[in-house]
Amino acid sequence: MLNLLRPAVTKVLTPIGRALARRGISANAITAAGAVGTVVAALWLYPLGWLWWGSVIITVFVLLDLLDGVLARMTGSDQSRWGAFLDSTLDRLADAGIFSGLILYFILKDDPEIVLAGVALFCLVAGALVSYAKARAEGLGMTANVGIAERSERLVVVLVSAGFSGLGVPYILPAGLWLLAAASAVTVGQRMVHVYKQAVVE
């Protein structure tokens, strides 16, 4: 759903991409910087309870995921198999960092919230399954580009709910995590059904 906004965001990022390309900065370098920055910010700021600033900083690094695509197309490296593999792998690393940071936040509180830590862990696992289902389907020559909670939607939910929780909005982080857990589980089911239908036709 949020992929509909990608053309507009890409238009904004294009001048930045041109500037980076002129300086010889590669798309893979941007990919790595975004992932490392996300993991460091999440594992440092979230456990300290700095949910607002953590979410703001992580959002900046997440936007690099769009910038690396723009830069790759400009430099002609968008067809690189290594670049595609690196991008997907580091996306999983970044996701793990975000949810691990939230898990530590819940566990390290003066009054630990073990249930919410478990929900955050479920979101991490379910999100990985969403991505794996697509990758495995494509490896078998099928598609799995369906579902209500792709990575962009999952990131928006977790970052917005964590950020506003840091501003003192009550219940928004638990609500966001429960919503994300349910949506991720549904998406896994949707992709399984989608692939099953293709397999049966064969």
CB within 8 A of 151, min separation 6: which ones?
91, 95, 127, 130, 131
Compute the distance between CA of residue 95 and CA of residue 125 in angstroms, rounded to an integer.
10
Asked if residues 64 and 155 have their Cβ atoms less than 8 Å apart, the reply is: no
CB within 8 A of 72, min separation 6: which ones?
27, 78, 80, 83
Q: Which of 91, 95, 110, 111 is catalytic?
A: 91
Q: Which is nearest to 136 in space by CA: 192, 79, 193, 65?
A: 192
95 a catalytic residue: no
Which one-letter DSSP state was computed for residue 202?
A: -
Helices (H), the chain: 6-22, 27-45, 51-75, 81-108, 114-139, 151-166, 172-201
Compute the distance between CA of residue 177 and CA of residue 131 in angstroms, rounded to an integer.
18
The encoded tokens of residue 106 equal: 């819940």
Q: Which residues are catalytic?
A: 91
